[in-house]
Amino acid sequence: MTLVDSWGPGNSRASSGVETRVCQYENSPDHDFLVDRHPRAENAWLVGGGSGHSFKHGPAPGELVAANVLGEKPVEPLFSYARLKKFPRRPSG
Q: Which residues pair with 46 in a beta bridge?
A: 36
Residue type, 68: N
Give me the domain span that covers residue 61. Answer: 23-86
pTM of whole model > 0.75? no
**Residue 4 included in any domain:** no
* 15 in any annotated domain: no
Domain-embedded: residue 92: no
Taking a C-beta distance cutoff of 8 angstroms, is the pair 27, 49 a contact? yes
Q: For residue 51, is pLDDT > 70?
A: no
Give the pLDDT confidence of 72-92 residue by residue, as tens digits. Answer: 999 999 999 999 989 888 777
Count of domains in the chain? 1
